[in-house]
Amino acid sequence: MAKEKFTGVKGMNDMLPQDAPIWQHVQKTCVGVLEAYGYQEIRTPILENTRVFTRGVGEVTDIVEKEMYSFTDSMNGDQLTLRPECTSAVVRAVNEHNLLYGTTQRLWYCGPMFRHERPQRGRYRQFHQLGAEALGMAGPDIDAEMILMLARMWRALGVGPVKLEMNTLGAQNERQAHREALIAYFEAHRGELDEDAERRLYTNPLRILDTKNPEMQALVEAAPKLLDFLGSESRAFLNRLEELVSAAGIEYLINPRLVRGLDYYNHTVFEWITDKLGAQGTICGGGRYDPLVEMLGGRPAPGVGFAMGMERVIELMREVGSVPVRTQTDVYVLHHGGESQTAAIALSEELRDLGVRVITHPGEASIKSQMKKADASGAALAVFATADELANGTVGVKALRAGASAYAEQTLEPLEGAAAKIAAALAH
Ligand code: ATP
Ligand code: MG
């Protein structure tokens, strides 16, 4: 019988061991920054009832119209969807557990999202977002704080310059007036609309501005701008946001065409964009979504959040060469099997008690072949718990690469106290 070779699902990637350090580094760095601003983690299931997203994201959006992995639960007929984004899920959980009762919440999440898109560089069917939601706080100070927090993350990650674009979607009534002007404008240019635009003309004309069709760029460029429909409150909101972002020394561009793909936004929307990743250059998007908590069944409460695409951020870091080198092993312990192995295992445990990352050679082999493994492991030090050394109550220690200079020459250490000395040498 021919052997069957299995492959993963198209557009869904394995994260291989060699990529683990960078993924862990990005999450750890971002979480460090999030904690500096008082954010706490929340985890929601990757499956939700489909209604959470159709309601939360909006019916007339790319996500809901064509990107969701939805299915019927064969056990009970429930309509379920693999989460395409996490904001709706977080708000669902916050409402369900009354987390906003008389208080505010600053929450972050990190995990896989699923969208049925055409896979290409920077666009996958399973991808990962790290995001945050600030709930119960209405002012532009919180929107600005979120921008500052992201700027701090970009600095900490060393992604190089990324452009901040901001816009406002105003308030509901302002969008309504703008919407009517947009419909009138696009009706007057009906012949130039593509299929998507035609379909959205009456359901979601704002979204037409978001088109990626190059043939429609001139048309949307000249369309009525929401900025011209803003009342004094929305203007003041945007002005204060701009003031605070400028005061922090962060450069930005107001892009009137930035409307973003999700339905629930009002006031602030923003994106961070790089020109180093081609068409998939948006590494992070976010905005204010004051209507969402109530739309998902909660008591009205304002919210603002962002989501960054981890794959794109990591790709950018590789592009600008800011991927940190971190070996995965500090010490490789060699031995002669039997009692020597028993001593090697005990010494390894002692080292681990001191926070050292250790590989004890598995099984038995010649010292020469163990040394090859030690070298390949990336360890800084080789420790010889070999029969002859142990017979003298010592172990041998030798640096395998530049760094642990105390052991540039192979050195004998008394077994008693060896672990502490080795750990100290590694700390230098
Ligand atoms: P795009 O315009 O690129 O489709 P979007 O508006 O659909 O993006 P959001 O829903 O705002 O994206 O998601 C926030 C971030 O998540 C994006 O800025 C991007 O970095 C990342 N992202 C979105 N979809 C994908 C995907 N299919 N693969 C990888 N990353 C993605
Ligand atoms: Mg999209």
Per-residue pLDDT reduced to its tens digit, 220-230:
999 999 889 99
Question: According to the model, what pLDDT value does residue 405 have?
Answer: 78
Q: Is the pLDDT of residue 86 over 90?
A: yes
Question: According to the model, what pLDDT value does residue 376 have?
Answer: 93
Q: What is this structure's pTM?
A: 0.90
User: If pLDDT is split at 50, 70 and 90, which confidence band does 130 have?
Assistant: very high
User: If pLDDT is split at 50, 70 and 90, which confidence band does 60 have?
Assistant: confident
From the CA of 168, how far away is ligand 1's center (Å)? Answer: 19
User: Distance between CA 71 and CA 128 in Å, rounded?
Assistant: 21
Mean pLDDT of the residues in the chain: 94
**Residue 114 CB–ligand 1 contact under 6 Å:** no
Average pLDDT over residues 391-413: 91
User: Distance between CA 227 and CA 229 in Å, rounded?
Assistant: 5
**Residue 123 CB–ligand 1 contact under 6 Å:** yes
325 vs 254 pLDDT, higher one: 254
Question: According to the model, what pLDDT value does residue 262 have?
Answer: 67
313 membership: H or E segment, kind and range: helix 310-320
| Ligand 1 atom closest to residue 131's alpha carbon, by position in its atom list | 14
What are the CB-based long-range contacts (under 8 Å, 24+) for 24-31? Answer: 25/323, 25/324, 25/326, 26/130, 26/157, 26/310, 26/313, 26/314, 26/317, 27/110, 27/130, 27/310, 29/153, 29/156, 29/157, 30/110, 30/130, 30/153, 30/156, 30/157, 30/308, 31/108, 31/110
Q: Is the pLDDT of residue 179 over 80?
A: yes
Ligand nearest to the CA of 279: 1
Question: According to the model, what pLDDT value does residue 411 have?
Answer: 95
User: If pLDDT is split at 50, 70 and 90, which confidence band does 247 have?
Assistant: very high
User: If pLDDT is split at 50, 70 and 90, which confidence band does 148 have?
Assistant: very high
Average pLDDT over residues 396-401: 94
Ligand nearest to the CA of 272: 1
| Of 360, 393, 391, 363, nearest in space to 377 by CA | 360
User: If pLDDT is split at 50, 70 and 90, which confidence band does 386 have?
Assistant: very high
How would you label 274-295 residue by residue, b for 16+ Cβ within 10 Å and e otherwise? bebbeebbbbbbbbbbbbbbeb
| Ligand 1 atom closest to residue 284's alpha carbon, by position in its atom list | 18
Average pLDDT over residues 6-34: 96
Mutate which of 129, 165, 210, 258 to test ligand 1's pocket (most atoms within 8 Å of Cβ)?
A: 129
Average pLDDT over residues 345-371: 97
Average pLDDT over residues 114-120: 97
| Ligand 1 atom closest to residue 85's alpha carbon, by position in its atom list | 10
Q: Is the pLDDT of residue 263 over 70?
A: no
| Ligand 1 atom closest to residue 129's alpha carbon, by position in its atom list | 16
**Residue 314 CB–ligand 1 contact under 6 Å:** no
Question: According to the model, what pLDDT value does residue 261 have?
Answer: 62
Nearest 5 degrees, angle CA 287-CA 293-CA 299? 145
User: If pLDDT is split at 50, 70 and 90, which confidence band does 82 have?
Assistant: very high
Question: According to the model, what pLDDT value does residue 206 have?
Answer: 86
**Residue 310 CB–ligand 1 contact under 6 Å:** no
**Residue 283 CB–ligand 1 contact under 6 Å:** yes
Question: According to the model, what pLDDT value does residue 265 have?
Answer: 84
Q: How far is CA 134 from CA 60, 121, 142, in A?
A: 25, 31, 8
Q: Is the pLDDT of residue 134 over 90?
A: yes
**Residue 126 CB–ligand 1 contact under 6 Å:** no
Mutate which of 211, 282, 306, 314 to test ligand 1's pocket (most atoms within 8 Å of Cβ)?
A: 282
**Residue 307 CB–ligand 1 contact under 6 Å:** yes
Q: Please report how many Cα atoms fall inside a 13 Å half-sphere around the Cα of residue 163, on the Cβ side.
A: 12
Query: For atom 3 of ligand 1, which residue has the closest CA?
Result: 280
Average pLDDT over residues 252-272: 87
Question: According to the model, what pLDDT value does residue 6 have?
Answer: 96
Question: According to the model, what pLDDT value does residue 38 have?
Answer: 98
State the burial class of residue 183 (Cβ atoms within 10 Å of its Cβ: 0-12, 13-18, 19+).
middle
Q: Which two tokens stand for residue 135?
A: 């709930």
**Residue 370 CB–ligand 1 contact under 6 Å:** no
SS3 219: helix
Query: For atom 9 of ligand 1, which residue has the closest CA?
Result: 285
From the CA of 309, how far away is ligand 1's center (Å)? Answer: 6
Q: Which of 12-21, 253-262, 401-410 has the highest mean pLDDT?
A: 12-21
Average pLDDT over residues 271-290: 96
**Residue 83 CB–ligand 1 contact under 6 Å:** no
Q: Which two tokens stand for residue 294?
A: 């109530």
Q: Is the pLDDT of residue 93 over 70?
A: yes
Average pLDDT over residues 155-165: 96
Residue 219: partners with Cβ closer than 8 Å, 6 or more residues away: 186, 189, 192, 193
Q: Is the pLDDT of residue 210 over 70?
A: yes
Q: Is the pLDDT of residue 193 over 90?
A: yes
DSSP-assigned letter for residue 120: B
Q: Is the pLDDT of residue 25 over 80?
A: yes
Average pLDDT over residues 254-270: 84
Provide, rounded to the nearest whole percent, the portion of the chain with pLDDT above 70: 99
**Residue 407 CB–ligand 1 contact under 6 Å:** no
**Residue 199 CB–ligand 1 contact under 6 Å:** no
From the CA of 310, how far away is ligand 1's center (Å)? Answer: 10
CB 367 within 8 A of CB 418: no
Q: Is the pLDDT of residue 115 over 90?
A: yes
From the CA of 4, how far away is ligand 1's center (Å)? Answer: 34
**Residue 154 CB–ligand 1 contact under 6 Å:** no
| Of 131, 51, 43, 9, nearest in space to 297 by CA | 51
